[in-house]
Amino acid sequence: MSELTSITDFPKPKTVTGGCLCGAIRYQANFPEDHDFLKSSGSCQCTQCRRNTGALIFVAHTAPLSGFTFLTSTTTLKNFYATPGFQRGFCTDCGSFLYWRDESRQDIALAVGGVDPEFLSKFGFALANASGNNVWCENEIKGVTDGLVGKQRGVKWARSSEEGVRM
């Protein structure tokens, strides 16, 4: 176990709220008492996530679906499927990417950047420590994204190019 993943004493939220840039879509995510904030925090550097987010690294926090609720109408919500069975939820008014979800699982990977700032400032480490899985590190950009995740943290997955992600 690395030094960082042995850290357990950090502020953990019971609940967070978040939403899209225009405010049409708002959500709440509740975390159970035994939620693992280290294992549930990860990132992805695949080309799909880069194009979807416009960022070099998609920082995600996986929350149980049972604790996830929309606080607003979802009229402007659309799920885009870059791969069948994997939702990429976004607001059709402002374009904000909100979550990624494997439909075969009972959880949802929240785009941490969409979490409300008051929660990010207080619980940013719990949500974005990257101690879980850091995916598609084969796409790392040397000197830019290679030092940000996976070193001393979590599992660094270097997926192959066979899976249709690098274009």
Tell whether residue 59 is a contact of Zn ion (CB under 5 A).
Answer: no
User: Residues 13-52: x/- map of binding to Zn ion (CB under 5 A)?
Assistant: -------x-x-x-------------------x-x--x---
The CB-of-129 to Zn ion minimum distance in angstroms stands at 18
- Spatial neighbors of 150 by CB under 8 A, at least 6 apart, are 130, 134, 137, 156
Q: How many residues bind Zn ion, per CB under 5 A? A: 9
Residue with smaller CB distance to Zn ion, 62 or 123: 62
- Shortest spacing between CB 24 and Zn ion, in angstroms: 4
CA distance 72 to 35: 25
* Shortest spacing between CB 19 and Zn ion, in angstroms: 7
Residue 55 interacts with Zn ion (CB under 5 A)? no
149 lies in the binding site for Zn ion (CB under 5 A): no
Residue 130 in contact with Zn ion, rule: CB under 5 A: no
Choice from 16, 59, 91, 98 touching Zn ion (CB under 5 A): 91
**Cα-based distances in Å from 107 to 26, 65, 67, 145:** 18, 4, 9, 27
Quote the tokens at residue 6.
């042995």
**CA dist 38 to 50, 61, 122, Å?**
23, 9, 16
Among residues 93, 102, 138, 146, the one that binds Zn ion under rule CB under 5 A: 93
77 binds Zn ion (CB under 5 A): no
Helix (H, G, I), strand (E, B) or coil at 53: helix
Which token pair is 63? 């929350």
Residue 71 in contact with Zn ion, rule: CB under 5 A: no
Distances (CA, A) of 161 to 35, 64, 135: 33, 30, 13
Enumerate binding residues for Zn ion (CB under 5 A).
20, 22, 24, 44, 46, 49, 91, 93-94
